[in-house]
Chains A and B, each alone.
Chain A
């Protein structure tokens, strides 16, 4: 172990003077986080849908509809404003000021009271399909309630009930709702955009910065210093362990600085320090392990860094460091489980929602990546240098 530490200490001294380490471990992730946050940090939750309502009815039905609209506005996901006329409402829709307009025609209340057919019109912006869809849904929920009593009366009558329809209607109205729709609020288990970009960039570049340790094994082989190290009175495994330690140290310093810097500079919310530390340590180990496998397969340092870049970018893209891939769902979300990046980011989201207890699944998964990586890299390196 002492030899491994000596090798790591020597490597770290060398790396600390290497400007590319500084670039990949700190400058690029920090710079890109700041830039992405500046450009995209403000793009968060979709804006509320804005609707206009035109009341040409001025009767009890319109009043009930206004109540229904007030209910829909409660969550803040919908904003409704009155418009003077159908023409004005259409102009608002065409101008994109509102996503849709509700038109309550004159005579709606008397028509309904008399049992005549009637219609509520929803005029939607053709470019706001979801907004129009939601408007139609709000209107239909309202009209369905109006007709449900009549449907029940009609069905009972056709089923052979001899009770007077007016009495049936009274009985239906007194029925308790058999299938109440209840709301069950769920917390957001997602990082805010600022934290997401900070964490995504940090873990993305982690897979580049840890390369500087293990890959130097290939430099040593090229320069002939590996043969000299092997001839020295130390256990060959100490060499690999020393290189791995170097990688881990660079990774930890990089992540540590990035966590602190993004928290201070742009207010990223990484979460409780203990949980962040657990995720960072296991993430650094996982990155080092996987990068070590590539280094032990490659023949030259150039080849290794090329493959490592492919691995880092592919796993990063798959793991959602640029876009939240998990939200795609389906097979792609399942495939993303093969990316340590995804576990790291999911771990942070769990940390935000459940506290430190929430990080264990992610930490475990990351440690599995690390152990698998170290195991394979150890076996392959052993064969390469014939310990």
Chain B
């Protein structure tokens, strides 16, 4: 009971800090939105086009390219150079010029558009030839070419294997869970500042002079961190699904992952709050550790892009396991599919709690 009161006090303290609410709720949702726009879903190659003409533009769009029209070549070129576009296309009466960087991204987009460009070139060639041979005007010749059916060499495209992600994974779905983990862990770690403050101001000593035992205080402080993490998680999950239509997958599975991760974060926060001596130390270390574990755990760049050594190293972060769990859920997995991940997270939580409780008890009673 005492522990719950202490936990409640912790939660109240967090909610009363108005600027803190920005970091707790607004920023995570903002980042989900921004990153969802940035990297979510659409792997469609981005192509900028200057003076494309209706036919070419519709062909390019039909070929699953994300086409943006540009007014002039200078703007297009700048966008390509800065990496805003995979490649650019400048159409002029005499030629089709492809502005692409020499890296793989640029070349791959150029290749993705190459069939449309080759077809357009061939189409115009055929029309010009027809016009000259038959004396009809160019538009009529184009119409003849477009309506001519000859036995063509078909390219049959099939895909093999089972899709890692069902086609209905939304643009925000996977970035949302990654951001949720980053922020839950980060805010819980930095909220350890409050624990240091509690110790420094002598609140803990006063609590100890009451009938509350060290056990209750330790559990209460720990639960307080977990409560913050859970509240933040709940708000981000609800907010992102209402605002951006993020699907978190099976509610039981997502709930279990979130609960387990909140306990890991709470344990880490309590450990950090007990081993550091000043608020600056706790805040700084919390920020650094929160960012590092998030980066290593695949919250900034997806784990699939990691090299083998980094992938192995990532297994030492709770984030990697939780990310793996949410990926499983995005593939329509259920609670049973994420049980291994939940189990590992529970293991993390137990170890961190034990260490945190031990250190905090020493810090309080020493």
15 residue pairs from A and B, CB less than 8 Å apart: A40-B301, A46-B105, A117-B151, A124-B158, A125-B159, A127-B165, A145-B118, A154-B150, A155-B145, A179-B120, A182-B97, A185-B100, A190-B82, A326-B84, A328-B37
Q: Is B291 part of the contact surface with A, judged by Cβ < 8 Å?
A: yes
Q: Which residues of A contact B121 (CB under 8 A)?
A: 177-181
Contact of A317 among B31, B79, B153 (CB under 8 A): B31
Q: A49-B108, A186-B81 are in contact. Are A43 and B306 (CB under 8 A)?
A: yes
Of the four ranges (under 10, 10 to 19, 20 to 34, 35 or more), the interface on chain A belongs to 35 or more
Q: 14 more A-B contacts (CB under 8 A) besides A177-B125, A179-B96, A328-B84? A: A28-B284, A28-B288, A77-B108, A126-B164, A127-B164, A144-B122, A152-B145, A159-B144, A168-B133, A178-B125, A307-B19, A317-B30, A323-B300, A326-B82
For the complex, give the distance between the alpha carbons of A140 and B118 in Å: 9
Q: A127-B163, A133-B45, A155-B127 are in contact. Are A161 and B133 (CB under 8 A)?
A: yes
Q: Mark B45-81, 1 if CB is under 8 A from A, else 0.
A: 1100000000000000001100010000000011111
Interface pair B161/A94, CB less than 8 Å apart: yes
Q: Is B102 part of the contact surface with A, judged by Cβ < 8 Å?
A: yes
| Secondary structure class of chain A's binding surface, majority of residues | helix
Which positions in B face A, CB cutoff 8 Å? 17-20, 22-23, 27, 30-31, 34-35, 37-39, 43, 45-46, 63-64, 68, 77-85, 88, 90, 94-108, 110-130, 133-134, 136, 140-141, 144-145, 147-165, 280, 284, 287-288, 291-292, 295-296, 300-301, 305-307, 310
9 smallest CB-CB distances across A and B, nearest first, come from: A77-B107, A306-B19, A148-B122, A189-B81, A159-B134, A152-B126, A140-B115, A75-B107, A143-B153
For the complex, give the distance between the alpha carbons of A101 and B264 in Å: 44
Q: A39-B295, A122-B157, A159-B144 are in contact. Are A181 and B114 (CB under 8 A)?
A: yes
Interface pair A329/B130, CB less than 8 Å apart: no
Q: Is A364 part of the contact surface with B, judged by Cβ < 8 Å?
A: no
Interface pair A184/B125, CB less than 8 Å apart: no
Q: Mark A301-322, 1 if CB is under 8 A from B, else 0.
A: 0010011011001100110001
Interface pair B150/A147, CB less than 8 Å apart: yes
Within the complex, the shortest CB–CB distance from A128 to chain B, in Å, comes to 9
Interface pair B38/A323, CB less than 8 Å apart: yes
For the complex, give the distance between the alpha carbons of A172 and B95 in Å: 19
Q: A49-B108, A183-B110, A185-B100 are in contact. Are A190 and B83 (CB under 8 A)?
A: yes
Q: Is A45 part of the contact surface with B, judged by Cβ < 8 Å?
A: yes
For the complex, give the distance between the alpha carbons of A385 and B34 in Å: 40
In the complex, residue of chain B having the shortest beta-carbon distance to the beta carbon of A324: B83
Q: A122-B155, A125-B159, A307-B19 are in contact. Are A327 and B145 (CB under 8 A)?
A: no
Within the complex, the shortest CB–CB distance from A326 to chain B, in Å, comes to 6
Interface pair A136/B128, CB less than 8 Å apart: no
Interface pair A181/B117, CB less than 8 Å apart: yes
Which positions in A face B, CB cutoff 8 Å? 19-20, 23-24, 27-28, 31-32, 35-36, 39-40, 42-43, 45-49, 72, 75-78, 90, 93-94, 112, 115-127, 129-130, 132-141, 143-148, 150-152, 154-156, 158-161, 163, 168, 171-172, 175, 177-190, 303, 306-307, 309-310, 313-314, 317-318, 322-330, 332-333, 346, 349, 353
For the complex, give the distance between the alpha carbons of A381 and B144 in Å: 75
Q: A35-B292, A179-B124 are in contact. Are A126 and B161 (CB under 8 A)?
A: yes
Interface pair B111/A46, CB less than 8 Å apart: no
Within the complex, the shortest CB–CB distance from A135 to chain B, in Å, comes to 8
Interface pair A94/B160, CB less than 8 Å apart: yes
For the complex, give the distance between the alpha carbons of A277 and B258 in Å: 46
In the complex, residue of chain A having the shortest beta-carbon distance to the beta carbon of B125: A178
Q: A127-B163, A138-B114, A181-B98 are in contact. Are A118 and B126 (CB under 8 A)?
A: no
Within the complex, the shortest CB–CB distance from B139 to chain A, in Å, comes to 12
For the complex, give the distance between the alpha carbons of A346 and B81 in Å: 11
Interface pair A183/B160, CB less than 8 Å apart: no
In the complex, residue of chain A having the shortest beta-carbon distance to the beta carbon of B309: A42
Q: A136-B155, A140-B155 are in contact. Are A23 and B114 (CB under 8 A)?
A: no
A140, A143, A353: most-surrounded residue (chain B CB, <10 A): A140
Q: Which residues of A contact B127 (CB under 8 A)?
A: 155
Q: Which residues of A contact B287 (CB under 8 A)?
A: 28, 32
For the complex, give the distance between the alpha carbons of A171 and B129 in Å: 9
Q: A75-B102, A159-B134, A181-B117 are in contact. Are A120 and B108 (CB under 8 A)?
A: no
Q: Which residues of B contact A313 (CB under 8 A)?
A: 23, 27
For the complex, give the distance between the alpha carbons of A127 and B7 in Å: 45
For the complex, give the distance between the alpha carbons of A346 and B83 in Å: 11
Interface pair B98/A184, CB less than 8 Å apart: yes
For the complex, give the distance between the alpha carbons of A39 and B45 in Å: 26
Contact of B152 among A125, A147, A190, A332 (CB under 8 A): A147
Contact of A120 among B31, B81, B150, B154 (CB under 8 A): B154
In the complex, residue of chain B having the shortest beta-carbon distance to the beta carbon of A61: B153
For the complex, give the distance between the alpha carbons of A40 and B79 in Å: 24
Q: A159-B136, A180-B95 are in contact. Are A119 and B156 (CB under 8 A)?
A: yes
Interface pair B98/A182, CB less than 8 Å apart: yes
Q: A126-B159, A186-B81 are in contact. Are A323 and B111 (CB under 8 A)?
A: no
Q: A125-B159, A161-B133, A179-B121 are in contact. Are A327 and B83 (CB under 8 A)?
A: yes
For the complex, give the distance between the alpha carbons of A187 and B133 in Å: 43
In the complex, residue of chain B having the shortest beta-carbon distance to the beta carbon of A114: B151
Q: Which residues of A contact B291 (CB under 8 A)?
A: 32, 35-36
Within the complex, the shortest CB–CB distance from B261 to chain A, in Å, comes to 20
Interface pair B46/A120, CB less than 8 Å apart: no
Interface pair B160/A42, CB less than 8 Å apart: no
Interface pair B82/A189, CB less than 8 Å apart: yes
Interface pair B144/A158, CB less than 8 Å apart: yes
Contact of B155 among A119, A155, A187, A318 (CB under 8 A): A119
Within the complex, the shortest CB–CB distance from A293 to chain B, in Å, comes to 16
For the complex, give the distance between the alpha carbons of A155 and B69 in Å: 31
Contact of A39 among B94, B101, B292 (CB under 8 A): B292
Interface pair B122/A117, CB less than 8 Å apart: no
Q: A120-B154, A346-B82 are in contact. Are A329 and B68 (CB under 8 A)?
A: yes
Interface pair B112/A151, CB less than 8 Å apart: no
For the complex, give the distance between the alpha carbons of A316 and B14 in Å: 24
Within the complex, the shortest CB–CB distance from A117 to chain B, in Å, comes to 5
Within the complex, the shortest CB–CB distance from A286 to chain B, in Å, comes to 21
For the complex, give the distance between the alpha carbons of A126 and B158 in Å: 9
Within the complex, the shortest CB–CB distance from B310 to chain A, in Å, comes to 6
Contact of B148 among A119, A134, A158 (CB under 8 A): A158
Within the complex, the shortest CB–CB distance from A245 to chain B, in Å, comes to 24
Within the complex, the shortest CB–CB distance from B55 to chain A, in Å, comes to 12
Within the complex, the shortest CB–CB distance from A166 to chain B, in Å, comes to 14
Interface pair B133/A36, CB less than 8 Å apart: no
Q: Which residues of A contact B163 (CB under 8 A)?
A: 126-127
